[in-house]
Amino acid sequence: MKVIGAGFGRTGTRSLKAALEQLGFGPCHHMSTLIAEPYRIRHWLDVGEGRSRDWDALFAGFGSAVDWPAAAYWRELAAHYPEAKVVLTVRDPERWYESVSGTIFASALAERRPLPPHRRLVRRLVSRRAPDFALYPRMAGATVMDRVFDGRVDDKAHVLEVYGRHQAEVRAAIPTDRLLVFDVRDGWAPLCAFLGVPVPPEPFPQANERAAWHGKRSRTRLRLILRGR
């Protein structure tokens, strides 16, 4: 593990993943990794529910990790991989909250409400055809929603307080020569200087997935129902 991303989801972590892989620090573990390879959800559920903390096994084959759920364990990962550098992605708090509340938190809150008949049918089909993926809400709750936000993702003031406190804690805990506080809008220069690599000629990756968030989740469920996983 060479790079640990300590930034919350929706702070440019997908762009950072693409950038790190382009710079040779991949493969990069990201929440999308769990969607693509649902068997990994069980591994993170074991972490979230306290059954395992075998970081070397969990990150075998990866050169970096960003986004949740890894970012929820930044302190443990920084201690376990003392030579790894840490990147704290940041974003304007209000814009971040607007993004995360309309995507990740919206999905988490939907899981708490009674499901309409068609959603119950989809859930049963997913559970039967893709039992690993069916554990995703439980895993996300254990590793992010409850661990990071005490389950209070519908409380804006609390969420923003957690967001600010998290950034302060990372800055205080990680030495300045090991930490980059990074806004992806700043592009290649600060990231490459921090990692000691040349700046690529290509533009910095811009992977804004907010508009496609809900559609992608529906397509994933359909694929799992049809193919199984």
Whether the per-residue pLDDT at 225 is higher than 50: the answer is no
Question: In the predicted model, is pLDDT for residue 188 greater than 70?
Answer: yes
Rounded to whole angstroms, the Cα distance separating 166 from 162 reads: 6
Closest-CA residue to 21 (of 41, 44, 2): 2
The pLDDT tens digits for 135-178 are 999 999 999 999 999 999 999 999 999 999 999 999 999 999 99
| CATH assignment at residue 137 | 3.40.50.300
Number of domains in the chain: 1
Q: Where are the alpha helices (DSSP H) in 102-186?
A: 104-112, 117-129, 136-140, 156-173
pTM of the model: 0.89
Distance CA 46, CA 54 (A): 10
Give Dmax (Cα) for the chain: 54
Q: For 59-107, what is each residue's pLDDT tens digit? A: 999 999 999 999 999 999 999 999 999 999 999 999 999 999 999 998 8
Query: CA-CA distance, 4 to 69, in Å (whole number)?
Result: 12
Which range marks the domain in which residue 219 is found? Answer: 3-227
